Amino acid sequence: DTEVTQTPKHLVMGMTNKKSLKCEQHMGHRAMYWYKQKAKKPPELMFVYSYEKLSINESVPSRFSPECPNSSLLNLHLHALQPEDSALYLCASSQGVFGATEAFFGQGTRLTVV
Amino acid sequence: LAKTTQPISMDSYEGQEVNITCSHNNIATNDYITWYQQFPSQGPRFIIQGYKTKVTNEVASLFIPADRKSSTLSLPRVSLSDTAVYYCLVGDRMNSGYSTLTFGKGTMLLVSP
Chain B residues in contact with A110 by the CB 8 A cut-off are 41
Whether residue A104 and residue B46 make contact (CB cut-off 8 A), yes or no, is yes
Closest-CA residue of A relative to B104 is A42
List, for chain A, all residue ranges whose pLDDT scores fall below the cut of 70: 1-2, 97-100
For residue A47, what pLDDT is reported? 93
How many beta-carbon pairs below 8 A join chains A and B? 68
Confidence of residue B2 (pLDDT cuts 50, 70, 90): low
Minimal Cβ distance to A42: which of B34, B100, B103:
B103
Average pLDDT, chain B: 90
pLDDT tens figures, B31-84 = 889 999 999 989 999 999 998 999 999 999 999 999 999 999 999 999 999 999
Which residues in chain A belong to E strands, given as ranges? 4-7, 10-13, 18-25, 31-37, 44-50, 53-57, 64-70, 73-79, 87-94, 103-105, 109-113
For residue B3, what pLDDT is reported? 82
Residues from A in contact with B at Cβ < 8 Å: 4, 33, 35, 42-45, 48, 50, 55-56, 58, 88, 90, 92, 97-108, 110
Q: What number of other Cβ atoms are within 10 A of residue B30's Cβ?
A: 10
B97 close contact with A: CB closer than 8 A: no
